[in-house]
């Protein structure tokens, strides 16, 4: 299942704020964030902390993935799945992050 437009819009705003970008959140692409926005490992972790704070979720260590910081679709699906688990949001497909690649040393 693909993340809702509302979730992705919120994520775009978080990306712009967390990375201190001088751009309209609407210009943040759905895919290829690392290359397009020049996100390194430190910026990626900072972004995920902002996402945790914005949505009131905890991203488990075993779920840390390059895919989470490279794709709004993957990140949005993950956020919605976490919200559904805690009963604070709509349900989504939990398979969104099962093919995750560890973030450490790969960003």
Query: What is the per-residue pLDDT across 25-81, written as a single tens digit (0 to 9) for each?
Result: 999 999 999 999 999 999 999 999 999 999 999 999 999 999 999 999 999 999 999
pLDDT of res. 103: 46
Q: What pTM value is reported for the model?
A: 0.79
CB 64 within 8 A of CB 103: yes
**pLDDT value at 94 more than 60:** no
Q: Which H or E run contains 86? A: helix 72-86
Distances (CA, A) of 94 to 38, 71, 82: 28, 16, 9
How far from chain centre, in Å, is Cα 71?
Answer: 7
Q: Alpha-carbon distance 35 to 56, whole Å?
A: 27
The closest of 68, 63, 25, 60 to 43, measured between CA atoms, is 68
pLDDT of res. 80: 96
The closest of 39, 51, 58, 9 to 106, measured between CA atoms, is 39
pLDDT of res. 57: 96
Q: Alpha-carbon distance 11 to 106, whole Å?
A: 22
**pLDDT value at 88 more than 80:** no
């Amino acid at each position: 299942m693909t993340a809702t437009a509302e979730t992705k819009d919120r994520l775009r705003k978080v990306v712009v704020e967390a990375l201190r970008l001088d751009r309209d959140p609407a210009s943040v692409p759905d895919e290829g964030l690392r290359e397009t926005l020049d996100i390194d490992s430190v910026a990626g972790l900072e972004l995920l902390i902002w996402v945790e704070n914005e949505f009131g979720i905890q991203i488990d260590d075993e779920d840390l993935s390059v895919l989470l910081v490279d794709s709004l679709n993957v990140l949005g699906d993950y956020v919605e799945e976490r919200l559904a688990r805690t009963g604070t949001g709509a349900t989504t497909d939990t398979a969104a992050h099962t093919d995750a690649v560890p973030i450490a040393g790969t960003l």
